[in-house]
Structure formats: C-alpha cells, structure tokens
Structure 1
Amino acid sequence: MTRGNQREKDRERAQARSAKGGKAKDDLTPEQRRERDAKALQEKNARKAAGGEAGAGSNAAGGGAKSSAKK
C-alpha cells in the first residue's frame, strides 16, 4: 500500500514548523541548565512547604476523614 504524497506533505509541514522558531534556545551549558533547574525546584519545594504549613493536618499522614469501610 502506498502513501502517495503524504510523506512530502509531512516534510513540508515539519519544515514550516521549524521555520517558525520551534523550541526556544536558552544558550546554556548542561551544567548551567542543571543549576537553574535545581534552583527552581528548591524554590518550588519551599513554596509548597510554606503553603503546606498553613493547612497542616489536612492529609499529611494519609489519615484523612475518608473511611474505607466496605459493606
């Protein structure tokens, strides 16, 4: 079974997508990217921990108000 011109059309579409810019380049080395990502993750975890303290006990130990009684 042949695909006709589907391959050609797909190539044209892919070329048009890549011409638009594609993914943004940040021109960082892998080490710099790791440091940036680690810092962002630390900040995210700090925000999450700070927000979790406000609602302490809601579901911290997994012992929420839900009952698992089977009938």
Structure 2
Amino acid sequence: MSRGNQREIDRQRAAKRAEKGGKGKKKDADGNSAKQMLTNKKEKDAEIMRLKQQKAADKAAAAAAGGAGAGSSK
C-alpha cells in the first residue's frame, strides 16, 4: 500500500492546474471574465436608463412649458 507517492504527484498536478487558470473563471473570446461582462452590462444598462429618464424629463418640461391644458379639451 504505497499510495504516498501517488498522493504527492496528484497534489502537484492539482497545484499546477490551480495556478494555470483556476476553476470557474471562464472567459469569452475577448478575454473578459463572466464577472467583468456582468459589470459591463450593468453599466451599459444604467447608461441607457439615464438617457431614457433624461428624455422623459425633457418631454415633461416641454409639455409643461408648451401648454398645461392642451391635452384635456372636451
């Protein structure tokens, strides 16, 4: 039962694998990790929402300045 040597070899191989890339750190073609891609998506979505809010605020300001009662004629 001389498994001591095999265990040591397995430990060395596992250390090399962990050093090389690590488990769970998948990257896309550009070299971005999944966490980085998620951060980029959140930033992009936040910018889109800011633009939408700005457009809505501009539209509301134009409606208020243009005529407050223009849409409610019976």
TM-score scaled to structure 1, two decimals? 0.43
Higher helix share: 2
Query: Larger Rg: 1 or 2?
Result: 2
TM-score scaled to structure 2, two decimals? 0.41
